[in-house]
Amino acid sequence: MSDLFGGDTRVAPPEHRSSRSRGRAKEQRERKRRRRRSIWVLVVAILMVVGAAYVVVELMGGLFQGQGGSASGVDDYSGVGHGRVEIVIKPGDTGADMATTMVDAGVVATAKAFNDAFAANPQASSIQPGTYSMLLEMKASDAVTALLNPSSRVSFKVTIPEGLTKNQIATKLSEKMAVPVEDVQAAIADPAAIGLPAEANGNAEGWLFPATYDIQPDATPASVLAQMTAQTVAVLTQKGVPQDQWETVLNKASLVEREAKLPEDRPKVARAIENRLAKEMVLQIDATVAYGLGISGMDLTTEMTKDDSNAYNTYTHLGLPPTPIASPGAVSIDAVLNPEPGDWLFWVAVNLDTGETRFAVTNDEHNANKALLRQWQAENDG
């Protein structure tokens, strides 16, 4: 039978069949492992490609943000905004200037969105300079509306240090209030607008009291200056200064403010000034000469102290200068009202870094003190 059908028809032993089954199972398991490895390799490759794409997008996005796009790729925010940030609109700012300020502060997404909203709002040109409280990530049209709303403007504080002139105060207020300095100067020149007392004779110098003031959103230069003059009047009144002596006290106190470097020296300087006036001696105060010339005391020369045409030259003119030369603080006013007892006629700062000042009764003592100043100058490159 086996010869007839050309082959061996015997059935394989059972152990042979089992061996072949184990081989096929092993091969299948190997194929599955290879497939899993291939899948993991593919996943890792995809993640690497995605990561590289993200880096490229971030880098390329940074290159185009300066061209009107936002960091997030959004042209205009759609939400109502969140958080708070204060921004300053300066005098003379155009819509484009405001757009830059808004983008830099994170208020709007792009300059283009703000410029479009600004152009679409007929009231936008009436936006006033000042400090505004704004939300972050606002819709551009809402940002323009907020700038037009007076309630968005915020109050802020301004500190006027002792010893500033009215022109220096004008500059400081201009910067803090974001208004032209000419507007502040015009208010200073208007005695009625700032409530200047008649005793000032129309000149605000010395009457703008140095202190910290709270500036309200609707404040004007005149209203802020009026606070300063009112504070001066209040201080003089509280200290019991007779009204007809207000100007004289402020005049003397302004000299003390400029001449005394240390608080403890001010009553001595005030006494020396009184002693000189009593003896009808010229005051010889460099600060008054420099004030009259409109220069810094560091730029004063000996020749300038001989200029008789300068009404504030206390080297050539007897008595007090025509007006105060700065705004004195309470300590200097107190020094004038309560000068320290003494016979001093001279004073000189012998160390310009520390403000150490020496006082003298005689001219010889004064010359010795001036020698100490020259020594200090020589040791400190003049």
Mean pLDDT of 304-314: 96
Q: Can you tell me which residue has the tokens 């490609």?
A: 49
28 has a pLDDT exceeding 90: no
Superfamily of domain 82-152: Endolytic murein transglycosylase (3.30.1490.480)
- Relative to beta strand 346-349, strand 212-215 is unpaired
CA distance 34 to 7: 39
The DSSP secondary structure of 268-336, one letter per residue, reads HHHHHHHHHHHTT-----HHHHHHHHTS-GGG--TGGGG-TT-TT-TTTS-SS-SS-SS---HHHHHHH
pLDDT-wise least confident of 149-163, 166-180, 229-243 = 149-163
Fold of 156-238: Dna Ligase; domain 1 (3.30.1490)
Q: Give 80's pLDDT tier (boundaries 50, 70, 90).
A: confident
Is pLDDT larger for residue 243 or for residue 74?
A: 243
What is the distance of C-alpha 330 from the center of its chain? 26
CA distance 117 to 66: 19
How does DSSP classify residue 233?
H
pLDDT one-digit tens code per residue, 195-238: 999 999 999 999 999 999 988 888 999 999 999 999 999 999 99
pLDDT of residue 40: 63
Q: Give 68's pLDDT tier (boundaries 50, 70, 90).
A: very low
pLDDT one-digit tens code per residue, 334-345: 999 999 999 999
pLDDT of residue 23: 59
pLDDT of residue 19: 53
256 has a pLDDT exceeding 70: yes
pLDDT of residue 52: 56
Q: Give 156's pLDDT tier (boundaries 50, 70, 90).
A: confident
pLDDT-wise least confident of 60-74, 78-92, 221-235, 367-381 = 60-74
131 Rama sector, left if φ>0, alpha if ψ -120 to 50, beta otherwise? beta
| Token output for 238 | 């509280």
- Mean pLDDT of all residues belonging to the chain: 86
pLDDT of residue 32: 65
Is pLDDT larger for residue 94 or for residue 51?
A: 94
| Residues carrying CATH 3.30.1490.480, the chain | 82-152
pTM of the model: 0.69
Mean pLDDT of 134-152: 93
Q: What's the number of CA atoms in the CB half-sphere (13 Å) around residue 104?
A: 10
pLDDT of residue 58: 44
Find all residues with CB under 8 Å of 77, minimum gap 6, and list them. Answer: 108, 109, 137, 138, 139, 140
Angle ∠(12,13,14) on CA atoms, nearest 5 = 115
Q: Is 248 exposed, middle or buried (0-12, 13-18, 19+ CB in 10 A)?
A: middle
Looking at the DSSP assignment, which residues form a beta bridge with residue 159? 212
94 has a pLDDT exceeding 90: yes
pLDDT of residue 150: 86
* CA-based nearest residue to 101, from 113, 91, 88: 88
Instruction: Give the percent of the chain with pLDDT over 70.
Output: 81
